Structure 1
């Protein structure tokens, strides 16, 4: 089962964009995003099939947006708010997540472990240097090289759109 921390790292920025696209107010979008993650934390044990995690998260997000409009005495659900339109967006995101996950799986075991322990288990670089029996500066260098290697590999994903600086600000539908 996925941890909330993993879901946060994997999905929070895309969910923020998704919510902001629906509510058009940054503060309101942040409130909804926090509410979504609270619901995820409380309901994560109800997810029966972890392969449907992204779909499940987006369904909770859509429902939370709708609930937010319903509970507001001043805002009505926009007429152009269509739940169905989001399925394509979700499919693209699932495809992108699969690409990134496959790029991580293609890394050699030691590099995969570094990424996993650094980003998903929040191990410090000092902890990693002890675990792998290498110097602190060596650990920092390995993490940096592995991060760059993964970034270069992710840039090969069909959906990824790098900007001029070589960062990945977004993705597009195939």
Structure 2
């Protein structure tokens, strides 16, 4: 098995395979060169010469995968590169500042439960097991406590929702609350 002979036989089909999966011609050339280098350095590991074609295409496929992975890591955007700039806090972020005082306004057992689940991220299942409560019972308690929490928000603010129920805007009611 000679690298020059193998490369002469399979170069064109490897290049076509790479072109099919990568649009930039310069990147295709780079990947083709990478496959050639791997062929040269690892050809000794191929025991069966009849498997050379499948091995070459596997090397090319792995090179494509690595290429896109590398591109994905390098594509992490900086805030200056974004086409928009989010100058102000979003509505949910603004309302999140009020969640702790509202939770603390609930009865102590409900406040502890919602703090553990909503603030600290504990799963409902885990919380139920730790406190010796049936999971279905806890789900019901969490639902009722969330409704009470929503009621506290609604006592304090008027909300505008879109047709899908997404929060569009809110206005604090004058003299309605002093929680946040």
TM-score range, shorter chain: 0.3 to 0.5
Structure showing greater radius of gyration is 2
TM-score, length-scaled by structure 1: 0.41
Q: Which has the higher contact order (CA 8 A, sep 6+)?
A: 1
Structure 2-normalised TM-score?
A: 0.40
